[in-house]
Structure 1
Amino acid sequence: MAKLNPIELQKHLSGVDYPASKQDLLEAAQKNGGDDEIREALEGLPDQTFNKPTDVTAALSDRM
């Protein structure tokens, strides 16, 4: 898997109201045209609440 671009990731998470669940992030990415790579990365997140966009980025840091 190629490294994710954090700017592209946040573009696909546009409109998310934080705090947000993993499911909220997946739904936003799908709505905003996220590709398979974005979806797979988000599916790999732990089932938790993310309080802000940087929490998502930190959780995905090994893929970025």
Structure 2
Amino acid sequence: MADNPTPIELQKYLGGVDYPASKDDLVSRARDNGAPDDLVSKLESAGEDSFDSPADVSRAVAGS
């Protein structure tokens, strides 16, 4: 995967998440949906513990 996933790529791996969502929920869903290891690592290192929307996730992943 490129340096940062596009919002579309990110949401592909987070499909079905209900927001607000915890970081642990997002990591688990991404793994379940076959996300590449680098994306899972970006989610794990995101600076937030909870996310209110897909846009929040995109911002956090882009900043990690």
Short-chain TM bin:
0.7 to 0.9
**In structure 1, what residue type is equivalent to 2:14?**
L
Segments of structure 2 that go 5 or more residues without pairing to the other structure are none
**In structure 2, what residue type is equivalent to 1:26?**
V
Normalising to structure 1: TM-score of the pair? Answer: 0.84
Partner of 1:31: 32
- Give aligned-pair identity as a percent: 44
Partner of 1:61: 62
Which segments of structure 1 move beyond 6 Å, counting only runs of 4 or more?
Answer: none
Instruction: Supply the distance in 2 between the matched residues of 1:61 and 1:27 (Cα, whole angstroms).
Output: 19
Matched, 1:9 2:13: no
Segments of structure 1 that go 5 or more residues without pairing to the other structure are none
Number of residue-to-residue matches in the alignment: 63
Over 3 Å counting, the alpha-carbon distance change for 1:2 and 1:58 in structure 2 is closer
Normalising to structure 2: TM-score of the pair? Answer: 0.84
Q: What secondary structure is seen at the aligned counterpart in 2 of 1:60?
A: helix
